[in-house]
Structure 1
C-alpha cells in the first residue's frame, strides 16, 4: 500500500513538471496563439530557405514569423503571409528581404520599416510591396567569375 501511494504522488509531480515545461516552451516560442499580431503578405521572386515558422525581424529583433508560403502561378512569385506584432507599425514603403544569418546560417525575413506617411492596414489586407528575394550563392559566384574574364582590356 505504501508503494502505491508513493508512486501516485511521484506520478502527479511528473505530470505537473511536464505541464510547467510545456507552458514555458509555448510562451517562449510564441506558439500559444496569434493574439497581439496582424497579417501582411509579401511577394518574392525567390524564397530559398524560408518555410512556415521562419523569423521575421526588424533591426535584428524578432517581430513575427512566416505563417504561410504559397505560389502565385500567374505571376510566378512566392507569396508569404507574415504574422507581425501589433505594436510594430509598418509604413506603405516598408521593404522586406530574405536574409541569411551567415554563410551557413538559416534564412529569415528582414523588414525595414520605411518612412512613408501611410501605414499598412492591420486588418489582414496589407501587403509589403517592396521586396528582395534570396540570392543563390552559386549564381553569385558564377556571375562574379564570369565578369572577371570579360572586363575591359586596355592593351588592345
Structure 2
C-alpha cells in the first residue's frame, strides 16, 4: 500500500506580504534604536559657545551648573575662518542664565571625562534660546601641562648648575695668593779681631 503524500498548503500572497511587513517593521525599530542610542536626549533650550580648544569634549558630554547636570552637548563644529571650535549645548528650560554667564570646559579628574561647567554672572539680562556665551575657557591639555612642568624643572636645574659653576670659578679667581714663607735674615759679618799690640805707645 502506497502512502499518499500530503500536498503542502499554498501560501497566499497576502500572508507573504504581511510577513515581510513585520520583518521590515522590526528592522526599522532596531535601526532607530541603534541610531538613537548614540544621540543625546535633547530637552530644554539651546545655547552656543566658542572655544579655542575642546580636547576630550564630545557630543553627549554633560553641561553642569553647581555640579549638577542641567544639559548636554548636542553639536560640535570648526569655524573655517577663525579655526575655533563651536559647541552647541542644551540647558533645562527651568534654568535661566544671566547674560554674562561663563562656560568652562573642565574634567572630574586628570583621567576623567570633560564637561562644560556654567558659571552664572550677575547681569539682570538673561540669555535667550540660541544665544552665544561670550565668556569661555577652553580645555586644558594634560600633555601640555606635563610638558610645561618638565621644561620648567629642566630650565631651573640648568640655571642652578650654571650659577654654581660660575660661583666656583669666581671663587677660584678671587682667592688671595698664598704668601711665600719668609726667609731667615742673613747672619751679620763678624768683626775682624783686634791687631796685636806692638809694645809701643802711639
TM-score of the aligned structures, taking structure 2 as reference length: 0.56
2:151 aligned residue (142, 146, 153): 146
- Aligned partner of 1:109 in structure 2 is 116
Shift of 1:75: 0.8
Shift of 1:150: 3.4
Unaligned runs of 5+ in 2: 1-32, 167-202
- Aligned partner of 1:43 in structure 2 is 50
Give runs of ≥4 in structure 1 deviating > 4 Å: 151-156
Shift of 1:113: 1.1
Shift of 1:117: 2.2
The number of equivalent residue pairs is 124
- Deviations, residues 31-79 of structure 1 (Å, cap 9, x unaligned): 3x53xx1111000011111111111001100000001011101111110
1:129 aligned residue (106, 125, 134): 134
Q: Which secondary structure does the structure 2 equivalent of 1:98 belong to?
A: strand
The question of whether the paired residues in 1 share the 8 Å contact of 2:110 and 2:142 is answered with: no
Matches within 5 A, 1:26-105: 31=41, 34=43, 37-105=44-112
- Aligned partner of 1:119 in structure 2 is 126
Unaligned runs of 5+ in 1: 1-21
Q: Which secondary structure does the structure 1 equivalent of 2:91 belong to?
A: strand
Matches within 5 A, 1:17-28: none
In our comparison, the structure showing a higher alpha carbon Rg is: 2
TM-score of the aligned structures, taking structure 1 as reference length: 0.71
More strand by share: 1
- Whole-Å separation in 2 of the counterparts to 1:133 and 1:148: 26
